[in-house]
Amino acid sequence: MTDQPDQPQIYLITPSEFELSTFPDMLARCLDTTEIACVRLALSTTDEARIAKAADALRVVTHERDVALVIDTHVLMVDRLGLDGVHLTDGARSVKKVRDDLGVDAIVGSFCGNSRHDGMTAGELGADYISFGPVGASSLGDGRQAELELFQWWSMMIEVPVVAEGMLDDALIKTLAPHTDFFGIGDEIWGSDDPSAALSAYAAAMIG
């Protein structure tokens, strides 16, 4: 036994747009070089056929490696596409219904911005994890951030796993590592020349 907290894990978020001819191989390289707990398919398109093709391709990559694949928002596609769960973006509002619809075995996650209240409510209603963010400064949205204090409080008071995501950098990862269960990493690596190397560097920052 040790008094040291468990190291956080990586929750990998796909780009909002990607080429199906190349991205699955890029994802495979990331999964083969760095330990990943879960992958979130986060396409911005509402084209069902494109989403389904992408999900089919990524499911092969992730499930071959025993990594869960969840989809952003599209609850009805989880069972249809053989995915492991869904990432909701409306705080606690739909958690209970989605949990009832998908059953106890599905992963149901909830993005709650920087709202402690929404996070607690979503957890009470059956969410498997709560995601807070952005943790870094951004001019998008209303500019509000999920501050360090929120993660410190959550890690002390709440048992539901928490994800820190949005505008991450090495300094934020080192600061938040003792207080979060997962880092949601996505755009931070996909624009680099070598995403798998960039991901490895973030993983190294998590352990100091």
Average pLDDT, integer, range 167-193: 97
Residue 158 pLDDT > 50: yes
Residue 208 pLDDT > 80: no
Residue 2 pLDDT > 50: no
Average pLDDT, integer, range 99-117: 97
Question: Model-level pTM?
Answer: 0.96
pLDDT digits (tens, 9 = 90+) for 34-72: 999 999 999 999 999 999 999 999 999 999 999 999 999
Dihedral pair phi/psi, residue 57, rounded to 5°: -70, -45
Prior bond of 161 cis (ω within 30°): no
Q: List beta partners, residue 164.
A: 132, 183
**Residue 142: its pLDDT value, please?**
80
Which three-class secondary structure string do you get for the chain? Answer: CCCCCCCCEEEEECCCCCCCCCHHHHHHHHHHHCCCCEEEECCCCCCHHHHHHHHHHHHHHHHHCCCEEEEECCCCHHHHHCCCEEEECCCCCCHHHHHHHHCCCCEEEEECCCCHHHHHHHHHCCCCEEEECCCCCCCCCCCCCCCHHHHHHHHHHCCCCEEEECCCCHHHHHHHHHHCCEEEECHHHHCCCCHHHHHHHHHHHHCC
Q: How confident is the model at residue 1 (pLDDT cuts 50, 70, 90)?
A: very low
Picking from 70, 19, 4, the residue whose alpha carbon sits closest to that of residue 40 is 70
Q: What are the structural domains, with CATH classification, of the chain?
A: 9-206 (3.20.20.70)
**Residue 170: its pLDDT value, please?**
95
d(CA 36, CA 105): 20
